[in-house]
Structure 1
Amino acid sequence: MSEPELVQLRVQDGVAAVTLNRPERLNSMTADLLEQATRALETVAADPSIRAVVLTGAGRAFCAGGDLSRGAGGGVTDGVDPESRAGLLRRFMETSKLLHEMPAVTIAAINGACAGAGLSWACACDLRYASAKAKFNVAFLNAGLSGDFGGTWTLPRIIGYGRAREKYLVSEPFDAAEAERIGLVSRVFDADRLLPEVFGIAGKIATAAPLAVSRIKQNLVDSEFADFGRSLDLEARRHTECVESDDGREAARAFVEKRVPQFTGR
């Protein structure tokens, strides 16, 4: 019997669509879904032809976090000896690191319910866009949990430490308009326009100079740890690489000749 496709991966024109496919349970996380998500994200992270990744959910939800109908934490580590449970969870949490650090630009298309570890996944992405119908909640406290998948690291860097503390410690739901107001998402679209708009953005990124896109992302990731002087050093080195690349020269020629550049990734 074939394995249910709980995470769908489709690639076209340099854009990967990763769709969580458990709509009957609001795409909530199980061990099987996390195994498939890990494989899908490892695949796209290792493929240099993929320039942008869109993460979304099937049906009316993005991801509601762990499936609490299976017990605390969604039963993700059930059947594993106590000494190994944190290690297994940490392996699954590598998905957030992949979303945050892979060379491709990652985009969360938040089409509905986005809570708990699902919100952590969205926060790990480079960009976030929401449907007007989307609903958000950190939700861990309500489930008697402290939080996982990197949300306590990413959310404060997106909306500020004060607001992040409130979202975690008060744990009240909020809508798409509030998410846009506090800067959690960049834009809110009508539900039927979300995916066309997001894939349009992903397509633009996929046709931009690949070396420049990857170096911009590297600079932004490194800036989270490096001091200002180190960031300047990294910017200077990577900017020079782009100036001296075939794509850098092609971009300059295309600008002068008033035509669309043809990038090769070199």
Structure 2
Amino acid sequence: MAKTELVGADARIQEAQSSYKQALDELETKTELQRRNASTVAQREIEKLANIVEGRQAAISAVMASKQSVESQISSVLPAQKKSAEAALAQAQVELDKTVVYAGVAGTLEQFTLRKGDIVNPFMRPAGVLIPAEAGRKALIGGFSQLEAQVMKVGMVAEATCISMPLTIIPMVVTEVQDLIATGQVRASDQLIDAQQVVRPGTITVFLEPLFAGGFDGVPPGSSCIANAYTNNHDRLAEEDLGTAHWLFLHVIDTVGLVHAIILRFQALLLPVQTLVFSGGH
């Protein structure tokens, strides 16, 4: 638009200059004729032409000023307006981006029960629960007795059966053993803590992963499971200098593990019956 006005100003300048030149030529011609013969051209006509020339020259000045005004808009006013508009656009984009909430991880939003007009606050009124896509699909978290703290090691073979997939034994392997017990933590507060307030002893948190790929297929994340971890005494039993008492003790441990494995299979068989028949659930 401003460039169009600039082109129009140039055209008006050219037109005003042409009119000025025409009036000036006519004034000079009349003046020369009067100088040669005073009776040929009246003095009043000379004065009239002089006024026309001055008017045409003023018109040129006005058109030149209009052109300078357009050039000033192009060089300073319009760039400033453009920057102001770009800043307003950026601010509007920021405000628009605030209306969309992006999760830090990929997953599924559950229990999203918001209604129009509800106030969302991450501390007092969350919009829902974000379940990461891989949550609970790679590892099983189990709590084992503190008596097993000295024997629970990474790499131990384990087995698990879950209520959500009955009649199935899932081979597992221990991948991580947490070296802290949750119930023993002390949080800073304004009250002294009595150790006897902890009624139940805590458990050792152990992470177990399926021994084979696809071991958790069909098990929904968050399922309740029963797991056994087994020690391996095969190499120690093969030692030649192993005493009889020690050899018998290791065999007892392996026998206990075998019994626990059998019990786990019985539990896998009885879980559906216990849940559907004896508890009255269905």
Name the TM-score, length of structure 1 as normaliser: 0.22
TM-score by length of 2: 0.21
Larger radius of gyration: 2
